[in-house]
Amino acid sequence: MHDTIGATDETGMTAVEDVHHIRDSCVTLLRLLGLDRNKLTYYHAGRFKRLSQLGGKVIDRLLAWLCVCSAMTSAEV
């Protein structure tokens, strides 16, 4: 399967379409693992901090693509 999400420039060095920060990738991974990013905390320097304290949004297009891929894979079996 050769599907892509987003695009890069001619040299492939810089994303130019559907650009996401690494925080978005982390939040999406937490969602795929079934973890609530707002409840996931750790204790540091005398207080609890959220793992996704600096924000980030779930990459919905990536989740949709993964659902389609898993549906295609289970249909082939």
The predicted pLDDT at position 1 comes to: 47
Please identify every stretch of the chain with a pLDDT value under 70, giving residue numbers as ranges.
Answer: 1-4, 52-53, 74-77
Tell me whether residue 35 is exposed, middle or buried, using C-beta atoms within 10 angstroms of its C-beta: 0 to 12, 13 to 18, 19 or more. Answer: middle
Q: Is the full-model pTM beyond 0.75?
A: no
User: Residue 33 corresponds to which tokens in the numbers above?
Assistant: 């693992």
The predicted pLDDT at position 75 comes to: 67
SS3 44: strand
The predicted pLDDT at position 3 comes to: 64
The predicted pLDDT at position 12 comes to: 85
CA distances from 32 to 15, 48, 64, 71, 76 (A): 23, 23, 12, 16, 23
pLDDT tens digits, residue range 29-45? 888 888 888 788 889 89
The helix or strand, by DSSP H or E, that contains position 64, with its residue range, turns out to be helix 60-76
